[in-house]
């Protein structure tokens, strides 16, 4: 928005402002959000939820043909039958009901449970299923199964016929099978249902069940008590309503996985009754009704140490050629403990040659204990072999078509990865025919992709800044347009590391073409002719838009223009557009464009309808529906009508130059009412670059760590968000140059009171806040969330959430020093605010929490104790047991109130609250919040 438009906005708002409310924490509860929006399988309906911050939401069902909108109170998690004959959803007991249970300390086992409802669209009726433990709708089928919380009705007198009342209105009677023998079990009654027949099958003693993807087959496991408890799995056909196969009783049983063509299932079972159970893999073929058992110690692939792992999901490839499963060493039975707890040593030994330091090992210990190697069953050769190991990692894909997989070995570079990013891998190709591996390339910093056939490996070379392609049939390593004007690298913004590609894509079917892209153009590389085909040159001839190559179906193995759409963002206006490519010659169709931002686009399965969400600073991203002609049919949701009651601010994109002449962008939020002749306080918020968020809608919400520019601008502040461009080795000076030059530009061109300027930042922004107030006295107040204060101590610290050492952050990534502590001692000292706190004149509020998993909270303590020692105004908020960004809602409300009170005092001239004047002694913790002004 230009200054002229800003002036017009200033004049036009006076008439309505007096009727509007400023946004503060009292508005949070009324704001709602849309979640779980999706097309029905045939595209005739859209379902979505509107959920408040507190309280009960609604599930909505929009008919795309009749435009009728239905709502279901407290509904959530809608699941569709593939023919749209019914919709299943759960209904919560209600926010107030559950809150009352918690308040009265009712045991959770006695809380009311969710209800399940079936919307039968074939006759427009609603069925409530009471007392359910669980339910499942076949992913691509028309059948529902559910498990009741009892085990009644089947074992009854055979002369008596039981009927179940299914509906609340005239109902259909369903005869239930019976038996004379009573059996004790830990199972429950399972019911299978569809819209046409209603109840089509029932069974008792069921502990678990699972549909095949299309719902044609149902596997269920029954439990029976006895001298030895047994489990038995049955496969049932929902179409023929008949049993297909019942497997022998065993002591351990897992639900199966189906092959795509439904010809096979694979499952784990075992008859081992020992404490440490040995499982076997069973592959049952429906055609010959035979079971292949894998994992017995008599097999040559296994011994007494190895067993099939329960911790890997089984995975059939869609082409039916391979089955992947995990194998791990058998757990050994623990020896009887002969020591008292007081006699045991409890110590971590940190060795300087550990591949991973002890904290990382401890964080990962649970997953390491469950680790298993990948094995594969090759159905063509009926052979079993290992295809991965601890040092050689693979990622099997369900839709994989080739006979090779990519494998990475990070082991040689693990110690180095503590300080160097990106980390390196040795890259291998693994054969699924026999398990043999071949080295493709050593020390690859940005591991690439293996083509589906396994013939090509493409990767990005950060040193030459281009894509490369290796033909593994002849070993030829080809450079794709290296050294040309096309820049395929991501923008690092001063990060002292080699770049990765700006984006990564895949191969077209036939593997004659592979997609590579810059920020502004997409190319198809013709492998045979070593030629780049410009797919988007016609669409973006002047490189005015940044482009994203996106797919409708994200799990597609190959690139296909029918599965692709392109989103473009104009670099000057931030307006967004959507395009379809017609052909490889680059002809295109613009399907949508607006001075707004799109944050979700979905196409119905038949391609006839499009669902998208668009937003601006003043418009919540509601749902819009388009037809195949790309005309907007309807806005089908209205999420926050109460917004009309509030003084909603505006935003403008600003441009300025630093003292060195570099051009920068930023966002300036301004109040709904700006009176001529008055000057306003301004808050400056930043992270790295955020001007692309010009059209972002910011809902009023309690803060996890940062100010909400919409909230503060509504309350009479200007809020400035400058982009920051960095130089490696000079993070603090870079922030100073960009923030201060931008602030000077705003104060010279907008009605800002230069004595009422504030700073706020979180994490990396928190560091910059503290660093800036050591470099300038321009700001009257500052708040820093989770800041690093001392790079020398933080350098050797731990990110406790992952257990990894923080050295990489300073040498290779965000902190941008680019050297280790001993090579760059002066840079570490210059960019550590704790060494310069004596220069600070700005009152500082810090939030740093004792369970911060990213920045150790002693960093905030170092700043606080330094400010305290120097007698400078400083407050530290530590939300007990909370994280880097607040996770607990009550804490978010509290931070929002305190941060607003802090800035209102120093920048608005309001009285300081009790917590700022006197603090809150530990003795009063939890008894008083200290928000009050009069004391």
Q: Is the pLDDT of residue 860 over 90?
A: yes
pLDDT in tens, 74-128: 999 999 999 999 999 999 999 999 999 999 999 998 899 889 999 998 888 899 9
Asked if 438 and 473 touch (Cβ cutoff 8 Å), the reply is no
The values of phi and psi at residue 25, to 5°, are -65, -20
Q: Is the pLDDT of residue 161 over 50?
A: no
Per-residue pLDDT averaged across 648-664, rounded?
A: 96
pLDDT more than 70, % of the chain? 94
More confidently predicted of 275 and 911:
911
pLDDT grade for 152, boundaries at 50, 70 and 90: confident
Look at residue 338 in the predicted model and tell me its pLDDT: 86
Q: Is the pLDDT of residue 51 over 70?
A: yes
Look at residue 823 in the predicted model and tell me its pLDDT: 97
Q: For residue 159, what are the contacts with CB-CB under 8 A and spacing of at least 6?
A: none
Alpha-carbon gap, residue 115 to 126, rounded angstroms: 13
Give me the numbers of helices (H) and strands (E) for the chain, helices first please.
13, 54
Look at residue 168 in the predicted model and tell me its pLDDT: 33
The values of phi and psi at residue 646, to 5°, are -110, 155
pLDDT more than 90, % of the chain? 82
CA distances (Å), 258 to each of 141, 282, 286, 317, 434, in order? Answer: 14, 12, 11, 10, 24
Alpha-carbon gap, residue 868 to 840, rounded angstroms: 12
pLDDT in tens, 861-904: 999 999 999 999 999 999 999 999 999 999 999 999 999 999 99
DSSP secondary structure string for all residues of 831-865: T-GGGGGGG--S-EEEE--TT-SSS-THHHHHHHH
Look at residue 365 in the predicted model and tell me its pLDDT: 94
Give the range among 290-299, 352-361, 453-462, 503-512 with minimum mean pLDDT: 290-299
Q: Is the pLDDT of residue 740 over 60?
A: yes
Average pLDDT, the chain: 91
Look at residue 612 in the predicted model and tell me its pLDDT: 94
Look at residue 43 in the predicted model and tell me its pLDDT: 94
Alpha-carbon gap, residue 37 to 58, rounded angstroms: 12
pLDDT grade for 181, boundaries at 50, 70 and 90: low
pLDDT in tens, 241-276: 999 999 999 999 999 999 999 999 999 999 876 767
pLDDT grade for 298, boundaries at 50, 70 and 90: low
- Region for residue 857 given its phi and psi (left: phi exceeds 0; alpha: psi -120 to 50; beta: otherwise): alpha
Per-residue pLDDT averaged across 561-584, rounded?
A: 96
Look at residue 151 in the predicted model and tell me its pLDDT: 83
Q: Is the pLDDT of residue 204 over 80?
A: yes
The first and second tokens of residue 509, run together, are 């079917």
């Amino acid at each position: 928005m230009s200054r002229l438009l800003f002036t017009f906005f200033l004049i036009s708002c006076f008439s309505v402002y007096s009727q509007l409310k400023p946004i503060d924490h009292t508005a949070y509860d009324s704001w709602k959000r849309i979640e779980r929006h999706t097309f029905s399988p045939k595209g005739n309906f859209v379902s979505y939820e509107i959920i408040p911050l507190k309280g009960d939401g609604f599930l909505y069902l929009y008919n795309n043909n009749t435009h009728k909108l239905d709502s279901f109170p407290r509904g959530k998690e809608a699941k569709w039958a593939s023919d749209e004959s019914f919709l299943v959803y759960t209904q919560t007991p209600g926010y107030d009901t559950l809150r009352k249970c918690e308040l009265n300390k009712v045991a959770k086992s006695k809380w009311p449970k969710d209800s399940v409802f079936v919307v039968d669209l074939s006759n427009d009726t609603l069925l409530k299923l009471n007392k359910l433990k669980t339910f499942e709708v076949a992913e691509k089928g028309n059948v529902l199964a559910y498990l009741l919380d009892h085990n009644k009705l089947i074992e009854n007198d055979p002369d008596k016929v039981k009927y179940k009342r299914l509906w609340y209105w005239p109902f259909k009677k369903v005869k239930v099978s019976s038996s004379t023998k009573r059996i004790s079990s830990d199972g429950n009654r399972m019911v299978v249902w569809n819209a046409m027949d209603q109840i089509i099958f029932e069974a008792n003693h069921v502990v678990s069940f699972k549909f095949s993807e299309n719902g044609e087959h149902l596997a269920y496991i029954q439990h029976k008590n006895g001298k030895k408890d047994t489990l038995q799995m049955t496969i049932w056909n929902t179409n023929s309503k008949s049993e297909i196969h019942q497997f022998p009783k065993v002591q351990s049983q897992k639900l199966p996985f189906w092959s795509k063509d439904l010809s096979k299932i694979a499952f784990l079972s075992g008859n081992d009754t020992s404490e440490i159970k040995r499982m076997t893999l069973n592959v049952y073929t429906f055609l010959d009704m035979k079971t292949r058992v894998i994992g017995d110690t008599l097999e040559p692939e296994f011994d007494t140490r190895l067993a099939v792992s329960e911790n890997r999901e089984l995975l059939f490839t869609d082409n039916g050629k391979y089955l992947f499963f995990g194998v791990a060493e058998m757990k050994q039975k623990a020896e009887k403990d002969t020591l008292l707890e007081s006699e045991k040593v409890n110590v971590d030994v940190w060795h300087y040659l550990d591949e991973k330091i002890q904290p990382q090992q401890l964080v990962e210990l649970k997953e390491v204990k469950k680790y298993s190697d990948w094995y594969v069953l090759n159905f063509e050769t009926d052979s079993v072999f290992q295809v991965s190991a601890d040092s050689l990692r693979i990622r099997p894909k369900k839709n994989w078509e080739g006979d090779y997989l990519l494998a990475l070995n990070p082991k040689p570079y693990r110690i180095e990865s503590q300080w160097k990013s990106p980390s390196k891998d040795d890259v291998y190709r693994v054969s699924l025919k026999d398990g043999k591996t071949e080295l493709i390339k050593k020390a690859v910093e940005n591991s690439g992709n293996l083509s589906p056939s396994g013939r090509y490996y493409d990767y990005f070379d950060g040193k030459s800044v281009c894509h490369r392609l290796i033909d593994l049939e002849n070993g030829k390593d080809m450079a794709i347009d290296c050294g040309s004007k096309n820049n395929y690298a991501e923008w690092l913004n001063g990060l002292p590391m080699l770049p990765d590609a700006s984006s990564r894509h895949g191969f077209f079917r036939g593997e004659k073409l592979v997609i590579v892209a810059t920020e502004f153009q997409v190319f198809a590389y013709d492998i045979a002719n070593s030629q780049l085909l410009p797919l988007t040159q016609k669409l973006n001839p002047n490189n005015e838009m940044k482009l994203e190559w996106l797919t409708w179906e994200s799990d597609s193995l190959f690139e296909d223009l029918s599965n692709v759409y392109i989103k473009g963002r104009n670099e000057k206006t931030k307006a967004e557009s959507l395009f379809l490519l017609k052909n490889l010659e680059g002809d295109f169709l613009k399907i949508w464009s607006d001075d707004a931002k799109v944050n979700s686009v979905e196409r119905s399965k038949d391609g006839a309808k499009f669902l998208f969400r668009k937003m601006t600073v003043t418009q919540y991203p509601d749902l819009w529906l388009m037809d195949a002609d790309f005309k907007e049919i309807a806005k089908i949701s209205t999420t926050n009508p109460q917004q009309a009651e509030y003084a909603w601010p505006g935003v403008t994109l600003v441009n300025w130059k630093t003292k060195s002449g570099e051009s920068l962008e930023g966002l300036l939020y301004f109040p709904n009412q700006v009176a001529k002749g008055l000057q306003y306080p301004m808050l400056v918020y930043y992270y790295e670059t955020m001007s692309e968020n010009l059209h972002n809608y910011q809902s009023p919400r309690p803060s996890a760590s940062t100010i909400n520019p919409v909230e503060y601008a509504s309350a009479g502040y200007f809020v400035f968000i400058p982009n920051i461009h960095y130089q490696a080795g000079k993070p603090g000076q870079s922030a100073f140059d960009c923030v201060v030059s931008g602030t000077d530009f705003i104060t010279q061109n907008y009605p800002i009171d230069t004595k009422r300027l504030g700073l706020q930042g979180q994490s990396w922004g928190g560091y910059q806040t503290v660093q800036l107030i050591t470099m300038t006295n321009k700001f009257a107040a500052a708040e820093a969330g989770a800041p690093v204060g001392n790079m020398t101590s933080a350098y050797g610290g731990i990110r406790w959430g992952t257990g990894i050492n923080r050295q990489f952050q300073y040498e290779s990534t965000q902190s941008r020093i680019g050297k280790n502590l001993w090579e760059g001692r002066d840079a570490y000292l210059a960019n550590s605010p704790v060494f310069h706190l004596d220069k600070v004149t700005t009152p500082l509020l810090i939030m740093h929490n004792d369970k911060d998993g990213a920045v150790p909270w002693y960093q905030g303590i170092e700043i606080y104790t330094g400010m305290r020692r120097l007698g400078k105004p400083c407050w530290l908020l530590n939300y007990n047991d909370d994280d880097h960004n607040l996770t607990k809602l009550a804490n978010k409300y509290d931070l929002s109130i305190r941060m607003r009170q802090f800035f209102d005092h120093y920048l608005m001239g309001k009285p300081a609250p009790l917590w700022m004047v006197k603090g809150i002694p530990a003795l009063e913790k939890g008894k008083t919040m200290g928000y009050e002004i009069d004391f």
